[in-house]
Amino acid sequence: MSVRHAILGLLAQHPRPGYELRSAFSAVIGGDENWDVKPAQIYTTLDRLEKGSLIKLASDMGEGEQPDRRIYAITELGNQVLQEWFACGVQPTHQRDEFFVKLMTALVSGQADTNRIMQIQRVTVYQELLNTTRMRDRYNTQTEMAQILLLNKAIMHLEADLRWLDFAEIRLEDVKHQPLPQPEVRPRGRPRKFDAQ
């Protein structure tokens, strides 16, 4: 999720000061434990949005001295950008996986027991699954369904990670017996000059 688009959406609801935007963002995503956005990030994003004419200063009770007293509103251009964001899909980023990088690095370097790495990861994912399930179960289905939906998505991803670990463990020996990926070696320096004949 783009923080800048979330800010545009919150300002589309009604004009707000920066400190209220951080609280509203936290409320929408179910708390800082799900996505902790620092106040500095909010104010930096507001500055960029204002420079891009996507938001404007609705009032400045701090007379420019206190950024937390400035109230921002979305512009027509900002609303157009927000609508474009709503109209397109969000690309998942499952291929940028830190655990996969760790596992492949262990294989390439020969400096770690890959089976042990898999066991440690399985325990880590199970613990995260347990914690997330407990967190989800504390929410009230009558008043907090949005947070339940978010945590259910996280639980499903964790369950998929466990299934992938089972699959990877079975296939790891095959990977070990295949040639390791090698970088393409390119010559360095200037190309050689050939005499014209």
User: Domain containing 43: what range?
Assistant: 3-86
Within a domain: 34: yes
Within a domain: 192: no
Domain-terminating residue out of 39, 58, 86 = 86
pLDDT at 51: 96
Average pLDDT, the chain: 86
82 and 155 part of one domain: no
**Please, which pLDDT band fits residue 104 given cuts at 50, 70 and 90?**
confident
- The number of beta carbons lying within 10 Å of the beta carbon of residue 39 is 13
Within a domain: 13: yes
77 and 29 part of one domain: yes
CATH number at residue 22: 1.10.10.10
E strands, the chain, in order: 16-17, 55-60, 70-74
Within a domain: 74: yes
Strand pairing of 16-17 and 55-60? unpaired
Number of independent structural domains in the chain: 2
Report the alpha-carbon distance of residue 17 to residue 26 in Å, rounded.
15
Task: Give the tokens for residue 182.
Answer: 């090698």
79 and 120 part of one domain: no
Least confident of 18-22, 35-39, 180-184: 180-184
3-state secondary structure of 13: helix
Within a domain: 132: yes
Please determine, for residue 93, whether its predicted confidence score (pLDDT) is greater than 80. Answer: no
| pTM of the shown model | 0.69
**Please, which pLDDT band fits residue 186 given cuts at 50, 70 and 90?**
confident
State the sign of the Cα–Cα–Cα–Cα dihedral 148, 153, 156, 161.
negative
pLDDT tens readout for residues 139-165: 999 998 988 999 999 999 999 999 999
Task: Give the tokens for residue 128.
Answer: 């995260």
